[in-house]
Structure 1
Amino acid sequence: MDCLHLFLLFTFTFACSSTISTRADLPGTWELVLADAGISSMHTAVTRFNTVVLLDRTNIGPSRKMLGRGRCRLDRNDRALKRDCYAHSAILDLQTNQIRPLMILTDTWCSSGQILADGTVLQTGGDLDGYKKIRKFSPCEANGLCDWVELDDVELVNGRWYGTDQILPDGSVIILGGKGANTVEYYPPRNGAVSFPFLADVEDKQMDNLYPYVHLLPNGHLFIFANDKAVMYDYETNKIAREYPPLDGGPRNYPSAGSSAMLALEGDFATAVIVVCGGAQFGAFIQRSTDTPAHGSCGRIIATSADPTWEMEDMPFGRIMGDMVMLPTGDVLIINGAQAGTQGFEMASNPCLFPVLYRPTQPAGLRFMTLNPGTIPRMYHSTANLLPDGRVLIAGSNPHYFYKFNAEFPTELRIEAFSPEYLSSDRANLRPVIEEIPETVRYGEAFDVFVTVPLPVVGILEVNLGNAPFATHSFQQGQRLVKITVTPSVPDANGRYRVGCTAPPNGAVAPPGYYMAFVVNQGVPSVARWVHLIA
């Protein structure tokens, strides 16, 4: 019995290998954005200029994109090329799908990042000469010449390899963890590095405390998950405010390859719900097993509850290295990854080509919907990012130490986009268009959004703010969606609807920065407009 028949027989319990073609009877569509980006993006971030920063490691030998203009990177310690004239970062223009190479000097392998309040991409750590490095990319118009800047006047106190960054309510960034770094520090720097013993306490033989999942809670504390344990951390006092029960199902963090998301904040913004999904079987990394089946369990917890407990669910597929992307509607897209093995070079098999939609408002048992499968395996070092038009950009996949194209799962230079069902043609008449919205809003400020919709509006038009996270290693660092308070829409004489809005109350609910503002009508989002949220 072939894989497709097994899929139907078990009602979406098992996914198929890369031989399965696109299924027109399942929701969502795929498109090829770029046939050859020249580099494979290990780290990806969307900018407020509707461009996308693609970033790989430097110590990897030739890419398929030259830097041009006579530029080369000189590094006598580089294991592959001492004189490297190839690009390892690039900017993608979403309007033209054109690529412009960027110059990155130090090694960004398994580094971390965050988007600052002014829209700058902050990039921290890496391997070798990048171990303590801090880099910035200040984005510009697509036809500009902005490029990476490596800071010479400041560096990390502790080297960070496999660390996590999270923007804080005041716009500063906490930089947490990494291999052998059981500490936290900040950018801009303050008080050096601070010991964080929780990370050492949860470390095991296969290191499952790397790339910890960090979420800023609306009470201003941090939810930090590593291995199978989580704490609420008061970073101001450097104290653990709460310990959560362990999550069943074994380790979830690198290299066990689960993922995590905080669901949309809404209402009075006092409640935060965290979801952690997927992962490898314990021991798969130690045994270097490529065919040990992944598990598909998800834990969901109300992190702000007085008595928090994990509610367990099962995805339709076992999955490792899946990206959990917050959609403008508040649903979560789970995409990319594999069904067997673990994270690491050439340590996974059986690609999971089927995306899954997690619908948090549905009852338990009905929250997962299987979507239209892709055809390109997206394995280790792949990424997924929400775009302002509501699509999800899919990039990367390089499970090899260098670029390798003659392999079962080759280095992937193609960039795709997945369109959720809300972008289907039969919903086009429901799609709002933002005609007018302020470019800048302050915390707690009342403001109006003017919208047109092809069909008369039925119900409430939502206005939801989604930020641009830094996507790497199956986790969207800093990801956030806030459903702001709105009044019922009122049509005016020009056929526009006025939606009265109130901005988020403070930086704990929504840290300062640029947000994609989506208007959502009956589950169908507009193209976003960028709004700068400030104090």
Structure 2
Amino acid sequence: MLAAATALVFAASLAAAADVGVWTPAGSSGVVCIHTALLPNSRLICNERPHQNMYPANANTGGLVSAEIDLLNGADVNGFGSWTAKFTPREVATDPLCAGHSLLANGSWFQAGGDPYGANNGQNPPDGRKSRRIYNPCPVGAAADCVGSWTTLPDMTTQRWYPTVATLADGSVIIIGGTTDAINFGQLADINNPTYEYWPSKAGDPRHLDILSWAFPNMLYPMVFVMPSEHVFLFVSNKTVIIDPKTDNLIYTVPDMPVMDHAPWIYPHIPTMTVLPMTIKNNFKFTLQICGGSRQTTIDASPMCWQISPEDASPQWTRIDDMPRGRLMIDSVIMPDGKILYLNGGSWGVAGGDPGEAGSAGGPIMAPDLFDPEAPSGSQWSTLASASNYRMYHSGALLLETGHIVTFGSDINNQDDAVNKKADCMPQVQQFNAGCQDPFNTNIERFAPPYLQRAERNGRPVISKAPDTTTHNSTFIVELSTAASNVARVTFIRQASTTHQTNTDQRFIELNILGRSDKALLVQAPDLAGRAPPGRWFLFVLDKDGVPSVSKTVFLQLGAATQVPAGTNGITSSKNAAKAASSFSGISSLITAFAAAVSAFAF
């Protein structure tokens, strides 16, 4: 009997050791997903650039540059079977390439800016540089044949190409930087746009930012995040300014990042910056992590990673463990268990180029690297199973409600032709020969992280009911069809949009479990709109083995907090419920104190 039990434990250990994730094809996006947002019902909305040079218009869409993708396309959201995505072309009024974007409080996708290519070449869609547009998705649970649509908003005050957009604590939007035209790094022109503005528009738009003037041309897609104080963190090259959107005061409390063997930390060198998970264990601390990009002294990518907690009294940049390999054009995806997957990109060069121009960057990196924020220094990184698709310039990745990650995009995908110097296959020839590699990658690939391998073997928690909406600091009930006693954590992840390794939407907050019954949990919503901007959030419950449920989508909205009465659903309070319930309020006081302390720096 003991021998049999030992054999089972040994077999389980071997299986766990082999858990490095599984990649499977997931169908076609129809367009190259350069700009991508998550929609309800496991859908994506993607935009590509108009095909140009010798490449004919996209035959999948009749030349349209936008498509909505139904990833499940009839597959069971709770299952582990195959997916074959279905795409539906969507018409957009102006060229959305090179826009900035974020998901709004109501779940719609807001975009600002775009590209002049269509206007300059007599094609559609026309110039989108001054445009603002919104994609309105179908609601959760809509009919399978329902698709969303684009709406055009009033123009911005100025043209913007490669701006950054972030949704703020009050649900409005800040639009920062960019240029007034497509940039040529070899022949710089006076096209910098060192300003920012808002949607809805405010008197005084646009507003000047000296830091964007200083950084030119290293100021495209600046790194922008709203913070718990509701101030806005803005990072370009190696400098930071904090914007108070209520007063437009500029605050300079964050020191410059140390200058080492690294090119400016921004496009075209393309690192990625991520808000680290805010957890009970780290007292919901707001910390940013930046990784990857180009070296300064060679063409190789850098493995460096740095962290900053900008709302500390005396913030300092801290270098942490290097990634297992140098990587640029790198995407990060926060997973339900609080670990972060770094994937896509290449090992040398810089981003940029027209379709098919595969010589600016190379060395596609197929294996993702997993970062564990709670692991001790020296053991924070591990490497998982390799993908099948090159994901170079103009690619991305997003988390889904199932716990899978999908990767997509890349329109300079003819890496092998470039490496093998197939002269008749390069764009300068101005013809697309049948023997050449298609640079436009519309393949979607699905990654099941190790926790889904464990789920397939042993099952996963199941949420049977959760509220459609909640407000900050509210308590609410999560009902389960599996045992609540086996739930170790409840996590909240904001749904996201991404382009050019820029994702201002995603962030992770662990929720306090205030009580439980046999099949229900009482949890507390995040406290601050600056920490948790309003919008659509994934709600996951995780078992004691770190396996997440399929999520429920919860709209986190502004408004008065509501409390579940004691004893609802037979729930009894946890021993540490009072401590947990007060932890957010204590942090809120610290944030208020921080805002007062830094006001002396505003000018």
- The answer to whether the superposition gives a TM-score over 0.5 is yes
Residues 430 and 521 of structure 1 are in contact (CA less than 8 Å); yes or no, is this contact kept in structure 2? Answer: no
2:68 matches 1:91: yes
Unaligned runs of 5+ in 1: 1-23, 68-84, 285-291
Give the structure 1 partner of residue 324 of structure 2: 316
Give the structure 2 partner of residue 157 of structure 1: 157
Letter of the 2:324 counterpart: P
TM-score normalized with structure 1 length: 0.84
Question: Greater CA radius of gyration, 1 or 2?
Answer: 2
Letter of the 1:184 counterpart: Y
TM-score normalized with structure 2 length: 0.75
2:217 matches 1:233: no
Give the structure 2 partner of residue 441 of structure 1: 470
Q: CA RMSD in A?
A: 2.3
Give the structure 2 partner of residue 139 of structure 1: 137
Q: CA, structure 1 residues 215+319, in 2 after alignment: closer, same or farther (shift >3 Å)?
A: same
Letter of the 1:524 counterpart: V
Q: Which of 41, 48, 51 lines up with 2:43 in the alignment? A: 51
Residues 137 and 146 of structure 1 are in contact (CA less than 8 Å); yes or no, is this contact kept in structure 2? Answer: yes
The worse-fitting range, judged by mean Cα deviation, of 234-243 and 365-374 is 234-243
Take 1:366 and 1:95, find their aligned partners in 2: how far apart are those partners? Answer: 36
Take 1:110 and 1:52, find their aligned partners in 2: how far apart are those partners? Answer: 18
Q: Offset at 1:47?
A: 0.9
Q: Offset at 1:232?
A: 2.5
Take 2:436 and 2:366, find their aligned partners in 1: how far apart are those partners? Answer: 18
Q: Which of 344, 347, 354 lines up with 2:367 in the alignment? A: 354
2:446 matches 1:469: no
Q: Offset at 1:483?
A: 1.4
Residues 42 and 383 of structure 1 are in contact (CA less than 8 Å); yes or no, is this contact kept in structure 2? Answer: yes
The DSSP-based 3-state class of the residue aligned with 1:309 is coil
Give the structure 2 partner of residue 298 of structure 1: 305
Q: Offset at 1:230?
A: 2.1
Take 2:351 and 2:441, find their aligned partners in 1: how far apart are those partners? Answer: 17
2:443 matches 1:429: no
2:528 matches 1:516: no
2:218 matches 1:220: no
Matches within 5 A, 1:11-22: none
- Residue by residue over 1:313-361, the C-alpha shift from the partner in whole angstroms, topping out at 9 and shown as x without a partner, is 3100100001011111211110100001011123101001110111101
Number of aligned residue pairs: give it.
Answer: 475
Q: Offset at 1:48?
A: 2.2
Residues 19 and 450 of structure 2 are in contact (CA less than 8 Å); yes or no, is this contact kept in structure 1? Answer: no
Q: CA, structure 1 residues 58+408, in 2 after alignment: closer, same or farther (shift >3 Å)?
A: closer
Residues 210 and 254 of structure 1 are in contact (CA less than 8 Å); yes or no, is this contact kept in structure 2? Answer: yes
Matches within 5 A, 1:127-276: 127-128=115-116, 129-140=127-138, 141=142, 142-151=144-153, 154-179=154-179, 180-191=192-203, 192-203=205-216, 207-248=217-258, 249-267=262-280, 271-276=285-290
Q: Which of 26, 38, 51 lines up with 1:33 in the alignment? A: 26
Unaligned runs of 5+ in 2: 1-16, 74-84, 117-126, 180-191, 414-426, 559-603
| Identity score, percent | 31
Letter of the 1:364 counterpart: S
Take 1:277 and 1:256, find their aligned partners in 2: how far apart are those partners? Answer: 11
Give the structure 1 partner of residue 443 of structure 2: 414
The DSSP-based 3-state class of the residue aligned with 2:503 is strand
- Residue by residue over 1:152-184, the C-alpha shift from the partner in whole angstroms, topping out at 9 and shown as x without a partner, is xx1111211111110001100101111212111
Residues 302 and 308 of structure 1 are in contact (CA less than 8 Å); yes or no, is this contact kept in structure 2? Answer: yes
2:295 matches 1:281: yes
Take 2:251 and 2:475, find their aligned partners in 1: how far apart are those partners? Answer: 34
The DSSP-based 3-state class of the residue aligned with 1:86 is coil
Take 1:395 and 1:376, find their aligned partners in 2: how far apart are those partners? Answer: 9
Letter of the 1:174 counterpart: I
Letter of the 2:43 counterpart: T
- Residue by residue over 1:240-268, the C-alpha shift from the partner in whole angstroms, topping out at 9 and shown as x without a partner, is 32332322434121011100100122349
Take 1:407 and 1:211, find their aligned partners in 2: how far apart are those partners? Answer: 32
The worse-fitting range, judged by mean Cα deviation, of 333-342 and 296-305 is 296-305
Letter of the 2:439 counterpart: P
Take 1:373 and 1:170, find their aligned partners in 2: how far apart are those partners? Answer: 41
- Residue by residue over 1:349-388, the C-alpha shift from the partner in whole angstroms, topping out at 9 and shown as x without a partner, is 1001110111101112211111111121100000101111
- Residue by residue over 1:467-525, the C-alpha shift from the partner in whole angstroms, topping out at 9 and shown as x without a partner, is 2222000121322222122125431xxxx2x2111112231121111111111223211
Q: Offset at 1:235?
A: 2.4
